[in-house]
Amino acid sequence: MKALLSKEFKLCVHPALFIYLALILMLLIPNYPYLVSCFFVCNGIFFCFQQARENGDAMYTAMLPVSKAQAVKARVWFVVIIEMIDVVLMAGMCAFSLIPGAMPPTNGGGTDHGLSLLAFALVLYAIFNLIYLPSFYKTGYKAGTAFLKSAVGVWIWIILSDGLMIATNAIMESGLDIAFFRYIHENIDCMPKTAEAWTVQGILFGAGLLLYVVCTLLAAKISVKRYEKVSVA
């Protein structure tokens, strides 16, 4: 597995991936839907799959003394590592926001910097993995079709999650006192400062991480089953 994973990083990484990871700097943009930066990373992963396909990686891997299941699991680990790098970078940007004056105190364009943002990013990647990986490994070469399917799911999540935060911010600024939106504003759409906010966002982060693990494991299982039926000759 270590050798296969090394092969993934040496032969399958597309240069655009580094550019998309660098777009974590979008978290410095005031009033912006920060989850969009995660979508770009998904785009970078798609480019890696596409480059591997064009370079004949499936045929090359088939000639190695490894099973199809091992090949799929190595690629899944490759995807997970990329996504975790982005989540860690996002956590770093959230920590940076604690410096006074470093970033705007609130984000009118989506989720504020905090554990909630990391939780929502994990859910986004869970959706991407669950749709993209099984769809790709159904054929082993239709990377574009798989990406389009996953992009629909990812954007639905971005619109729903950031849309709720935008609505919350607008309602709070209007002066309306609605308990549901006040709770979100004080405990979810913020950098946590109270014990209650830390608890709520900690639970959200834990739930997001659990969902990510479950969905990725399920995606890997389905992908292995589907790819074993595919002929790479």
Give the DSSP letter string of 112-157.
PSSHHHHHHHHHHHHHHHHHHHHHHHTTSS-HHHHHHHHHHHHHHH
Widest pairwise Cα distance in the chain = 66
Q: Domain segments of the chain: what residues?
A: 2-227
Distance CA 115, CA 112 (A): 9
Which residues contact residue 64 at a Cβ distance below 8 angstroms, ignoring those fewer than 6 apart? 4
Does pLDDT of 220 surpass 90? yes
**Nearest CA to 153 among 87, 76, 219, 202?**
219
Which residues contact residue 105 at a Cβ distance below 8 angstroms, ignoring those fewer than 6 apart? none
Does pLDDT of 106 surpass 70? yes
Q: 76: buried, middle or exposed (CB in 10 Å: 19+, 13-18, 0-12)?
A: buried
Distance CA 119, CA 97 (A): 17
User: What was the pLDDT predicted at 233?
Assistant: 58
Cα–chain center distance at 61: 26
State the pTM of this model.
0.94
| Distances, alpha carbon 223 to alpha carbons 84, 132, 213, in Å | 20, 10, 15
**Which of 17-21, 61-65, 116-120 is least confident?**
61-65
- With contact defined as beta carbons under 8 Å apart, do 189 and 169 qualify? yes
Does pLDDT of 225 surpass 90? yes
Q: What mean pLDDT is predicted for residues 146-150? A: 96
